[in-house]
Amino acid sequence: MGTDNGLLARLRSAVGDDAVLVDPDVTDSYRRDMMPLAPHGAPLAVVLPGDAAQVQEVVRACAAAGVPIVPRGAGSGLSGAANAIDGCVVLVTTRMNEIVEVDPDNRLAVVQPGVVNLDLRNAVEKHGLFYPPDPSSYDWCTIGGNLSTNAGGLCCVKYGVTTDSVLGLEVVLADGELLKTGRRTVKGVAGYDLTKLFIGSEGTLGVITQATLALRPLPQAPGTMVAAFGSVSAAGAAVSRVVREGIVPSLMEIMDAASITAVEEYLKTELGAGKGCAALLICQSDSGGEAARRELSAIEQVCADTGAELVHTTYDLAEGQMLLKARRAVLMALEVYGAWLTDDVCVPRTRIAELISGCERISKEVGLRIAVVGHAGDGNMHPTIVYDPTSESEFARAHQAFDDILEVGLGLGGTVTGEHGVGKIKREWLAREIGPVGLRVHRAIKAALDPGNLFNPGSMFSLAAP
């Protein structure tokens, strides 16, 4: 207890009394993210530093006391990567929310990790610029969390994931030193690419305190196309052909029948899919003008050729936003039926239909509703399992379905996570996917940068081999 009191005193000295939270009624809300399966513990304290220097002091204090640190953003994650462990210090970066610089001439922004994704997008839009990564929680998730999980979103098919928009980072290391990676230039190959090493590391290698982000010119208002299919295989064939023909829309999303039904009931609207619709494909093009019309016309033709029962294209912004709202509303719509558990598996785009069919089979086996939505443009699917949280049986079956879906995804040549991360729920699956040599390399990198296992111990993988 004396050691704890000494650490708390040092933390308060570093960041101020009001930035060190110890009341369990307050710290309880910082114990876990949005993933109900992931284990979580009770932290010794929650600390909210205001700048990089304060982060350095917190890291040094915890290292000296031998107390682990779990970095955390807004808590919107879906893997348990930011979940507390017993006796740790949860280091929350939400107070570090300054957009330090927007440089329109070089098309970049410098931001602290607590900046909300949507706030950044709105700020750079005033300069005629665009920050592409758009996770579904973009209106409350933070850039630091996006970096730590290498978050994706709906626009990945054209613009890539978070790492594709990052030029450089500042990171506090386990010894309290501040590492600067990357640069402000478009090109640069001096040394190892340490920037990409920290992106997606889920807080296991250091604490990101600043990021230099690449921006793009603001796209044109998008045209939107929706196509309804009587079978999942026909929708899958359309996706494969769009990719094969080299058409790159700014967005290409797929919804299965369970998702369509839930959204229509939730929004009290019809998506025009019809009663026999097995899958809905939503595409957008932000190329503008005639280019957008050519892209969407080509996708229309593909959908018609592969058996779409309905194809509709609109250049009305409000109608397009309504269709996109339907896609983004799936998780909220499913809450009407019970609690949800969303999976994250990415398969080759030619295997999307097989994954959806596999989820239909698993749904019947476990006796639970499973709705599948996802980013068809890159094969990243989000099967979502609905269950009664008061029923131990249903929770157990939901957990089984979660694992069964990962098994199907790996069997189709996919990966166990496309954008949510490994966290504390997919450690065994990471080991299966990357194999013993890959796991050994991961452990070697962790040991080199964090020999005391200070940062987020037990997340992604254990430091010691079994």
Examine the domain organization and report whether 84 and 113 are in the same domain: no
Examine the domain organization and report whether 88 and 111 are in the same domain: no
**Is 421 contained in some domain?**
no
Query: What does pLDDT average to over the chain?
Result: 95
Examine the domain organization and report whether 82 and 104 are in the same domain: no
* Count of beta carbons in the 10 Å neighbourhood of residue 186: 10
CA angle 69, 93, 193 (to 5 degrees): 80
CATH number of the domain to which 380 belongs: 3.40.462.40
Examine the domain organization and report whether 109 and 87 are in the same domain: no
Examine the domain organization and report whether 311 and 406 are in the same domain: yes
Q: Name the domain count of the chain.
A: 4
DSSP 378-446: TTEEEEEEEE-TT-HHHHHHHHHHHHHHHHHHHHTT-BS-SSS--TTTSHHHHHHHHHHHHHHHHHHHH
**Is 181 contained in some domain?**
yes
Whose CA is closest to 459, among 26, 68, 46, 11? Answer: 68
Q: CA–CA separation, 337 vs 432, rounded Å?
A: 33
**Is 77 contained in some domain?**
yes
CATH number of the domain to which 11 belongs: 3.30.43.10
Examine the domain organization and report whether 182 and 320 are in the same domain: no
**Percentage of the residues of the chain whose pLDDT score is greater than 70:** 98
Asked if 334 contacts 396 with a C-beta cutoff of 8 angstroms, the reply is no
CATH number of the domain to which 145 belongs: 3.30.465.10
Question: Which range marks the domain in which residue 463 is found?
Answer: 426-466
**Is 351 contained in some domain?**
yes
* pLDDT tens for the chain, residues 1 to 466: 556 889 999 999 999 999 999 999 999 999 999 998 899 999 999 999 999 999 999 999 999 999 999 999 999 999 999 999 999 999 999 999 999 999 999 999 999 999 999 999 999 999 999 999 989 888 999 999 999 999 998 888 999 999 999 999 999 999 999 999 999 998 889 999 999 999 999 999 999 999 999 999 999 999 999 999 999 999 999 999 999 999 999 999 999 999 999 999 999 888 766 677 999 999 999 999 999 999 999 999 999 999 999 999 999 999 999 888 888 899 899 999 999 999 999 999 999 999 999 999 999 999 999 999 999 999 999 999 999 999 999 999 999 999 999 999 999 999 999 999 999 999 999 999 999 999 999 999 999 999 999 999 999 998 765 5
